[in-house]
Amino acid sequence: MSGTLVSHRCDISFETVRRRSRNNRSSTYMHVTIALNVPTQLGLSMTRQGFLSEGFRLPDSITGNQDIIIGEETFDETYRVKGIDENAVRAYFTPQRIMAILQIQNSLGPLQNLTLTDQQVSVRFPNVMSDMNMISETANALVWLAQQLEA
């Protein structure tokens, strides 16, 4: 489902992930995505990090995965940030943008993952949501965040 919300493109989509196991289990996720009207050119990828969102991971020093340290402790502990030019990515994450991102993340549940790329901001829910008020509130919050990121 897609449409426009306060001049931002909004998409609600579903993803089914199959897990290899004896029972051939699958999980369905719902995504609420808001397109940024002013995309960046940083090669930006911001994803939630930690056991609940990533599972068990080897340290980045062993795997070679990038995680740009922005310099704000709570933000750096919560998110894995990647980008082409580390200095440009650090400059992009102003205190106002960091505060807006953390405010939205704090309003979400522990299994709801906020992500940010050059083109969009998105929340992934751990299953299909039937509460239309929650979906609407999340979409409106993401539009607010997009506006803060574009300011």
Rg (CA), the chain: 16
Contacts of 80 (CB under 8 A, 6+ apart): 45, 46, 47, 48, 49, 54, 65, 67
Q: Residue 64, class by beta-carbon neighbours within 10 Å (0-12 exposed, 13-18 middle, 19+ buried)? A: exposed
pLDDT tens, position by position, for the chain (151 residues)?
Answer: 899 998 999 999 998 888 766 677 888 889 999 999 999 999 999 999 865 444 444 455 454 566 899 999 999 999 999 999 999 999 999 999 999 999 999 998 888 889 999 999 999 998 888 888 989 999 999 999 999 999 8
Contact 48, 55 (CB under 8 A): no
Q: What is the pLDDT of residue 50?
A: 65
Which residue range(s) make up the domain with 120? 2-150
SS3 67: coil
Q: Are strands 120-125 and 8-18 parallel, antiparallel or unpaired?
A: unpaired
Counting the structural domains of the chain, the total is 1
Q: CB neighbours (10 Å) of residue 150? A: 13
Token pair of 139, please?
């979409």
- Residue 59, phi-psi category: left (phi > 0), alpha (psi -120 to 50), beta (remainder): beta
Q: Are 80 and 47 in contact (CB under 8 A)?
A: yes
pTM for this predicted structure = 0.84
